[in-house]
Amino acid sequence: MMPSHRLCGRAVLAAFAAAMLLAGPLSAARAKTYGFATLPPGTLNYTTASAIAKVIEQKAGLNVLVQPTAGDNVIIPMVGRGEAAIGITNILEVARAREGGHEPNLRLIGKIHALRTAFFVRKDSAMKTIADMKGKRVTMGFSAMPTISTLMRAMLATGGLTGKDIVPVMVPNVVRSADDFVSGSADMFFFAFGAPKVREVDATMGGIRALAIDESGMLAARKVTPYGYLTSVSPGPVFIGVDHPMKVYSFDNLLITNADAPADLIYKVIDTLVKNKADVVAVQPVLREFSAASMYVNYGMPYHRGALKYFKEHHLTPQALP
């Protein structure tokens, strides 16, 4: 007969092996890491991606790795090739990337919020409106974020200006735009409200101010791009540089994925964000306006099947462009 201590040891080993076999599929699923491509630290989208990734990990049990990149022209190909399961970018970038049949595997998950942007100047600057930028040193180029140039041209158009009316200061991305403003190389910088970089510049420069946009100029702006629109903002923690109620230039920020991404993954991402909105907003306040209904917008571009399944089950229909 085998000694009792050996029998006990074998029983423990057998039980452990059985437990590992049962836990294997679940552990493997949890061990898989999903990349989340976003902009560099200091940008609004980096904070947003970090907030979303944190909630998905804590509430859905998925491993999500935030992957900062140089710009949207890196994010979109990464997602298109499946090198990152999720990406965050804006509608103009997606539209540009899909022109001419490019990025055929790119799919939309949905809108997460409006990107509210502005041209910022020193608080004591004599410039008050977009039109006042005539002859000033304006950051342009944005080689790592090509559609920012489109936005710049649209916003300049609201003040009756073109690239010929300003002195261009070439920069690769919005972070460099802000840095050049701080260094004195530019008279303004372009950024989205809510980004940590805007708060940093405000503190460094002793105060900044957002230039006002003339609503009557939006007709000219829409000739540059149809995706921009105006939204109302008021002074508050998110809207640094706003000292009175005003309209700011806005466009939609989206989550994107690849056609081959698992449907249940994308469904779970949406479901988790909707059910845990308060947790996301606690980290990124700009997501207060996020909702399942607002995600589904008719951009004339394909949505991922997992997103469409969620929208169908919750009886949601696509909204028209603003």
DSSP readout, 193-215? Answer: TT-HHHHHHHHHHT-EEEPB--G
- Asked if residue 150 and residue 71 are part of one domain, the reply reads no
At residue 77, the pLDDT reads 95
Q: Does the pLDDT value for residue 10 go beyond 80?
A: no
- Asked if residue 184 and residue 292 are part of one domain, the reply reads no
For 128-152, write each residue's pLDDT tens digit. Answer: 999 999 999 999 999 888 888 999 9
- Asked if residue 162 and residue 44 are part of one domain, the reply reads no
Where residue 308 sits, what CATH number does that domain have?
3.40.190.10
Average pLDDT in the 67-76 region?
A: 92
- Asked if residue 186 and residue 298 are part of one domain, the reply reads no
What does pLDDT average to over the chain?
Answer: 90
Alpha-carbon span 315 to 8, nearest angstrom: 57
Encoding tokens for residue 133? Answer: 């930028």
Dump the DSSP string for 214-256. Answer: -GGGHHHHHHH-TT-EEEEE-SSSSSTT--S-EEEEEEEEEEE
pLDDT band of residue 31 (cuts 50, 70, 90) is low
**Residues 6 or more apart whose Cβ sits within 8 Å of residue 286:** 44, 48, 113, 193, 194, 238
At residue 310, the pLDDT reads 98
Q: Which of 223, 251, 279 is the last residue of a domain?
A: 251
Encoding tokens for residue 173? Answer: 């991305």
Q: Does the pLDDT value for residue 22 go beyond 80?
A: no
- Model confidence, pTM: 0.80
Percent of the chain with pLDDT strictly greater than 90: 81
Residue 12 forms part of a structural domain: no
Q: Which of 201, 217, 251 is the last residue of a domain?
A: 251
For 279-308, write each residue's pLDDT tens digit. Answer: 999 999 989 999 999 999 999 999 999 999
For 170-212, write each residue's pLDDT tens digit. Answer: 999 999 999 999 999 999 999 999 889 999 999 999 999 999 9
136 lies in which domain range?
A: 116-251
For 233-279, write each residue's pLDDT tens digit. Answer: 999 998 999 999 999 999 999 999 999 999 999 999 999 999 999 99
Backbone angles phi, psi at 70, to 5 degrees: -70, -25
Number of domains into which the chain is organized: 2
Q: Which of 227, 251, 275 is the last residue of a domain?
A: 251
pLDDT band of residue 3 (cuts 50, 70, 90) is low
Q: Does the pLDDT value for residue 66 go beyond 70?
A: yes
At residue 4, the pLDDT reads 46
Alpha-carbon span 151 to 72, nearest angstrom: 14
